[in-house]
Amino acid sequence: MIPIWEAWVCQIELTNVCSKDCIYCSRFVRHLRNDQKFFMDLKTLEKALDSLEGWENRIGIIGGEPTLHPNFEEVCRVLQKKHPKSKYGLWTTGGSKFKKYQTLINETFELISYNEHNNYQKETCQHQPITIAIRDVVKVQEIRDKLINECWVQKKWAPTISPKGTFFCEVAYAIDVILDGPGGWPIEQGWWRKKPNEFREQINQYCQYCGMPIPLERDYLVTNKEKISTGNLALFKAHNLQRISKQDITIFDKELSAEEMESVRSKWDPENYRGDITSDRIMDKN
């Protein structure tokens, strides 16, 4: 794994409310109970931005769908007060609110990751089965630990700041939310200076429940049905999560061998999940 400060962007989780219902969402949006949904308040947003003093890379605003925040205009004014637009990126699925705030968005963000999840994308985009827990299907601990330590998400995506605290990985944050976890580190200056050995407790806390590190065949969004491992299904039921009935899931109860995973790895490119563009790292510039 890489130190947190080497990440190309740090995300601020403005909300986990979204109008979409995509399988294998990295925020588990379709599974959230109503009491797990949130909109970050402006005070926490300012605190999050202040905690990134000295952060040299991009700052992202993400969700859910950020433009659904009831105070999105005020959010943008806070951002403008803290940094120039060259510092910011917006991760959005578009929609009516995006169109409403288009001028303000152009004033606030240099980079926009626009991922509409429209019908064409649903037929061409493939998502990694995040709901298959590595602890359920990779039984050899040495192999499991190696896959976790080499996880592409931690190297390619982002650490994150949420109302529940700060996390070395954005998926770890999302797992903390759905499993009603203890939260992350305090939102304070310097939290992002941690090295891998200093965030080992979060690795141990969350990565065992994640499917991102596993070389697995990905599913098209149009499938609209998630594979879920037996251990995760039991946890989802215990936490009264949504969309876990038979019409929404397929139980994955197979143990994966090293040979099976290696055969997938040769053609496995989970970061490039879009299908309509060559990489999600390509942004629309204003």
- Distance separating alpha carbons of residues 263 and 116, to the nearest angstrom: 32
Tens-place pLDDT, residues 129-164: 999 999 999 999 999 999 999 999 999 999 999 999
Give the pLDDT confidence score for residue 271 in this predicted structure.
83
DSSP H or E segment with residue 124: helix 119-124
Percent of the chain as helix, strand, coil, to the nearest 5 = 40, 15, 45
Tens-place pLDDT, residues 169-203: 999 999 999 999 999 999 999 999 999 999 999 99
| DSSP annotation of 126 | E
Residue 53 burial (CB count, 10 A): 9
Half-sphere exposure (Cβ direction) of 152: Cα atoms closer than 13 Å: 14
Tens-place pLDDT, residues 218-253: 999 999 999 999 999 999 999 999 999 999 999 999
Q: In what order do the strands lie in the sheet with 111-114?
A: 165-167, 160-162, 9-13, 58-62, 88-92, 111-114, 284-285
CA distances from 41 to 12, 53, 164, 276 (A): 12, 20, 12, 34
Contacts of 15 (CB under 8 A, 6+ apart): 37, 38, 39, 40, 63, 64, 65, 66, 68, 69
- Distance separating alpha carbons of residues 31 and 89, to the nearest angstrom: 26
Tens-place pLDDT, residues 63-74: 999 999 999 999
Q: Is the pLDDT of residue 278 over 60?
A: no
The mean pLDDT value for 64-86 works out to 98
Residue 285: pLDDT band by 50, 70, 90 thresholds? very low
Q: Is the pLDDT of residue 283 over 60?
A: no
Q: Is the pLDDT of residue 281 over 50?
A: no
DSSP H or E segment with residue 120: helix 119-124
Question: What residues form DSSP beta bridges with 162?
Answer: 165
Query: What tokens does 93 get?
Result: 């699925």
Tens-place pLDDT, residues 97-123: 999 999 999 999 999 999 998 898 889
Query: What tokens does 172 get?
Result: 């770890």
- Distance separating alpha carbons of residues 118 and 141, to the nearest angstrom: 39
Cβ(23)–Cβ(223) below 8 Å: yes
Strand bridging mode 111-114 / 88-92 = parallel
Query: What tokens does 35 get?
Result: 């009491």
Kindly report the pTM of this predicted structure.
0.95
The closest of 214, 205, 165, 168 to 188, measured between CA atoms, is: 165
Structural domains present in the chain: 4-276 (3.20.20)
